[in-house]
Structure 1
C-alpha cells in the first residue's frame, strides 16, 4: 500500500493502482449503480486524446518540460490503446460535473508517466494537476470529450443504419408487386403493395441518416480552452492555436473551437438536439417493429401476413408457440431511449449560471441511447428484417375482400351510393365486386378491371381508368 495526501487528509491505496487519492475518494463516495465509466471506453479514449494533444501543445509553446511531456504523451497513448483497463473504477453517477472522471484519467496518466521516467507510481515526478491537467479544467475537458464521443457513436450508428437501409431496399424490391391491404385506425382500408408499405420504412431510415449526419457539426464544435468559466484563465499564450491544431490530428476527429466559450459551458442544448434526434429515430423503429408484430400475428387467429424468422421458443407452457421477440426487443429499446431523452431534457434545463454541472447524467443517457440503438438496429436487421417473408395468400384475400374497395365506386357513383353498396356487401358477407355484379352496376369485364386491387395501388392507372369511365358516361354520380 502507498499513502497519499490531499486537502482533506490521508488515504492508503494499493501499490498497483495507477489512479490516486481523488479517484479513490470518488470511488468510495459514489457507489451507486454498480457500473463504471469503463462501460464507455470511447469517452475514456477521447479524454486521453485531449490529454495527449494538450501535452504536445504545452511542450510546443514552451511551458511543459519536454521529458515530462514525452512521458505524458506515451502514457495517454497507452490509455487510448486500452492498456489501462481496470484503472477507471468510477460510477457514472457522481457530483461535480465530471471532476472525478477528469482527475481519474489525470492520475492514471501521471502515474504511468512517473514509471516511464524511471520512477514509481505515486512518486510525483509528474503531477496529475500541474502537468497532465495543465491549461485545462473539468468544465471544458468533459463537455469537449463528450462531444467527441458522440461523434464516434454517430459513426457507429450510421453504419447500423446503412445496414438496415440496404435490407429495406432489398425488401422493397422483393415485395414491389405483392398486393396487401392497408389499414387505418386498425380497420380495413384500401389495397397497397407490400413494397409501397416498405418504401415508407425505407424513406424514414433515409431521412434519419440525413438528420444524424447533420449532428456531426453539433459534436465538432467544442469549448476546450475555456478552462473553468469560459475566460481561458490558466491556459498559456499560444495554447489555443496549438490545441486546435494537434487535437484533430491525434484523435482523427475534426474538432473546431466553439465560437463562444461561455455558451459552451453554460448550455447543453446541443446534447438535447442529439438526444431528440435519437428519440425521433426510435419512434420510427418502434413503429416498424410494431407493424411487424401485428402483421405476423397468428398463426391461426391473427393477421398472418408476414412470416418472421423463428429465433427461439415462445412459451414455457404452450408447445410450438413462437413469439415476435426481436420486434419486441426493438420496441423496448425505443421506450428506454424516450426515457433517456426525458432525463437529458431535465439535466439540460437545470444548468445554473456559468456551467451545466449535470454533464455526467447527460452523457450516461446519451451514450446508452447510442449503444442500445446501434446494437438493436443490427439485431433487428439480421435476425428479423433480412429473413422476413410474405404470406401472400392471406394478404391477397384481405385486399380483394376489403369493403373500402367501394372507394373506387364513390368517384363514379358518389359517396352515398358507394356507401350503400359497401353496407350491402357487409350484410350479405360478399365482396364489393360481387355486390356490384349482383346489382348490375357494371358488366363483369369492367367490374373486374375497375375493382382490381392491383389497379388501385397505382395512381396513374386508377386515375386514367376513372377518367375513362366518366367520359364514357357509364355512371352519373351525385357529383355530376
Structure 2
C-alpha cells in the first residue's frame, strides 16, 4: 500500500493502482453494484480530458512536457488500455465527482509514469493539471452526451436493418391470406404481408425519431465549469474548448447557447429516453405478435414457422420456443424500467445542478445498448421466419369473420343469422352462405378470399 493525502487527510491506496485518494474514498463510501460505466462513456471522457489538456497547452497554462504526457495518457484511456482502473460505481453520489476524480487520478498517475515518476508522486497533478479549467459539472454531462451520440448512431443502424428485414417479409408474405384478429378474436381477412408491413411502419417511425433527436444532444456545456458561469476558467479557454473537443474527437458537438441551462437541466435525456421507450414498446409488441402467430404450432395459431435456434425444453423432446422474441421482450421491459428511473432523476435536480446525472447517463447508455442488441437479434430472427401457408388458409376458412364484407349486400342481421345457424346446427358456414345467396361455395371463396379483399374499402355488393 502507498499513503496518499487529500483534503480529508491520509488514506491507503493499493501500491499498483493508477487511482488515488479521491477514488479510494469513493470505493469505501459506495459499495459496488457490479454495474460498470459504458466503455463509450469512458472513451468520451478521455477525449474531454485530452481536449482540455491540448487547449491549456496551446494557451500556455500547461508546459509542453505536461501537456504531451497528459495527452498520451488520454490516448491510452481512449484506446481502452486504462479502462480497468476506472473503478468507481456508476450509482455513486456526488453528481459524478468521484468518477471525474477517478479519471483525473488515472490520467495523472499514468502521465507521471511517462515523465519518469512513480504512481502517487504526481509530477502531473490530478486537479491542478488534468482538471484545469474544468468541473465535474461540465465534463461529466459533455462526456455523457458524446457517448449517447455514438451509441445513437449504432442504434439507428440496427433499427434500419430491422425495418428492412420486416419490409422483405412484407413482400414475401403479401399474398398469404389469413384471419386478422382484434382482441385476440377472429376479425376480418388480412394478408400476413400486411401485418409485417404495419410492423415495418412502426419501426420506421422509431428510426426517424431517433435520427432527429441527435440534433438536441449535440449541445454541451463544457467550459461552463461549476454552474455554467465559467468560474475559474480563462475566457479564451471557455470560448474555444468545445471546438477543440470536436476537432479531437470527430464527434459533432456544439457549445450550448446557455451554459447555465445546459448545466442544471437534463430534460434532453428525458426526451431521448422517451424515444427509447417508444422503440421498446414497438419491439415488445412485434415480438409478442411473432410469438402469437407462431404459437402451437399444431394446437394454436401456427401461421408462422419459427426458427429452430435452440432446444426448448430439458424434458419435452422436440419442443422449440420463441427464445429470441422473449429476449427482446425482456430487453424492452428493462428499458421501460430505466425510463422511470431516468425521468425521476431528471426531475430531481435542484437549483443550479442535478446531482443524479450519473444515473441519468448510465441508464440511458445502458438502454441504448440493450435496444441495439435487441433490434439486431430480432432482425436476424425475422430473416429466418417462414410462413405456414396451409395453416393460414385453414384458419381463414374456419373463421366466420370472413363473411363481414357480406353485410353491405345482405345486412348485418342477416349475416349474423347465418353464423348463428352454423353454430347451433353444426353446419358449415360456407354451405349456409351459399344457400342464402344462391352462389356456389367456390364463387363465394373467390369473392371473399381473393386479392381484392385486401384492398382499402372493399365490400361484397352481391
Tell me the CA shift for residue 25 of structure 1. Answer: 1.0
User: How do 1:319-330 residues align onto structure 2 when only pairs under 5 Å count?
Assistant: 319-330=317-328
Q: Contact 1:403 / 1:431 at 8 angstroms: preserved in 2?
A: no
Structure 1, residues 368-387: CA drift from partner, whole Å, max 9, x if none? 211111112222222x2111
Q: Contact 2:176 / 2:192 at 8 angstroms: preserved in 1?
A: yes
Q: Contact 1:223 / 1:265 at 8 angstroms: preserved in 2?
A: yes
Q: CA distance change for structure 1 residues 317 and 174 in 2, over 3 Å: closer, same or farther?
A: same
Structure 1, residues 398-450: CA drift from partner, whole Å, max 9, x if none? 22332112221111122222222232233344554322212244456753443
- What residue in structure 1 maps to residue 405 of structure 2? 408
Q: Contact 1:402 / 1:431 at 8 angstroms: preserved in 2?
A: no
2:378 to 348, 361, 380: 380
- What residue in structure 2 maps to residue 477 of structure 1? none
User: How do 1:9-20 residues align onto structure 2 when only pairs under 5 Å count?
Assistant: 9-20=9-20
Q: Does 1:334 align with 2:325?
A: no
Q: Contact 1:144 / 1:222 at 8 angstroms: preserved in 2?
A: yes
Whole-Å Cα distance in 1 between the matches of residues 41 and 428 of structure 2? 62
Tell me the CA shift for residue 79 of structure 1. Answer: 0.6
Tell me the CA shift for residue 320 of structure 1. Answer: 2.0
2:165 to 159, 162, 167: 167
Give the structure-1-normalised TM-score.
Answer: 0.92
Q: CA distance change for structure 1 residues 250 and 429 in 2, over 3 Å: closer, same or farther?
A: farther
Q: Contact 1:165 / 1:206 at 8 angstroms: preserved in 2?
A: yes
- Report which stretch shifted further, 351-360 or 11-20: 11-20
- What residue in structure 2 maps to residue 157 of structure 1? 155
Whole-Å Cα distance in 2 between the matches of residues 49 and 432 of structure 1? 71
- What residue in structure 1 maps to residue 414 of structure 2? 417
Gaps of 5+ in 2: none
Q: CA distance change for structure 1 residues 403 and 124 in 2, over 3 Å: closer, same or farther?
A: same
User: How do 1:34-433 residues align onto structure 2 when only pairs under 5 Å count?
Assistant: 34-37=34-37, 40-382=38-380, 384-430=381-427, 432-433=429-430
SS in 1 for 2:235: coil
Structure 1, residues 94-119: CA drift from partner, whole Å, max 9, x if none? 10000000011111111111122222
Tell me the CA shift for residue 187 of structure 1. Answer: 0.5
Q: Contact 2:223 / 2:242 at 8 angstroms: preserved in 1?
A: no
Tell me the CA shift for residue 163 of structure 1. Answer: 2.0
Q: CA distance change for structure 1 residues 310 and 444 in 2, over 3 Å: closer, same or farther?
A: closer
- Report which stretch shifted further, 409-418 or 205-214: 409-418
Whole-Å Cα distance in 2 between the matches of residues 348 and 92 of structure 1? 16
Whole-Å Cα distance in 2 between the matches of residues 198 and 359 of structure 1? 39
Give the structure-2-normalised TM-score.
Answer: 0.96
SS in 2 for 1:451: helix
SS in 2 for 1:357: coil
- Report which stretch shifted further, 89-98 or 27-36: 27-36
Q: CA distance change for structure 1 residues 242 and 306 in 2, over 3 Å: closer, same or farther?
A: same
Q: Contact 2:223 / 2:239 at 8 angstroms: preserved in 1?
A: no
Q: Contact 1:223 / 1:261 at 8 angstroms: preserved in 2?
A: yes
SS in 2 for 1:241: helix
Gaps of 5+ in 1: 475-480
Root-mean-square deviation (Å): 1.7
- What residue in structure 2 maps to residue 32 of structure 1? 32
Q: Contact 1:164 / 1:377 at 8 angstroms: preserved in 2?
A: yes
SS in 2 for 1:86: helix
Whole-Å Cα distance in 2 between the matches of residues 185 and 133 of structure 1? 59
- Report which stretch shifted further, 16-25 or 26-35: 26-35
Whole-Å Cα distance in 1 between the matches of residues 443 and 374 of structure 2? 49
Whole-Å Cα distance in 2 between the matches of residues 390 and 455 of structure 1? 21
Q: Contact 2:230 / 2:238 at 8 angstroms: preserved in 1?
A: no
Tell me the CA shift for residue 32 of structure 1. Answer: 3.2
Q: Contact 2:177 / 2:449 at 8 angstroms: preserved in 1?
A: no
Tell me the CA shift for residue 48 of structure 1. Answer: 0.9
- What residue in structure 2 maps to residue 478 of structure 1? none
Structure 1, residues 234-281: CA drift from partner, whole Å, max 9, x if none? 110211232122111111111101111121122111111111101100
SS in 1 for 2:190: strand
Structure 1, residues 10-51: CA drift from partner, whole Å, max 9, x if none? 1222332111110111112212312333xx111111111001
Whole-Å Cα distance in 2 between the matches of residues 248 and 281 of structure 1? 29
- What residue in structure 2 maps to residue 23 of structure 1? 23
Q: Contact 1:5 / 1:21 at 8 angstroms: preserved in 2?
A: yes
Q: Contact 1:20 / 1:104 at 8 angstroms: preserved in 2?
A: yes
- Report which stretch shifted further, 423-432 or 16-25: 423-432
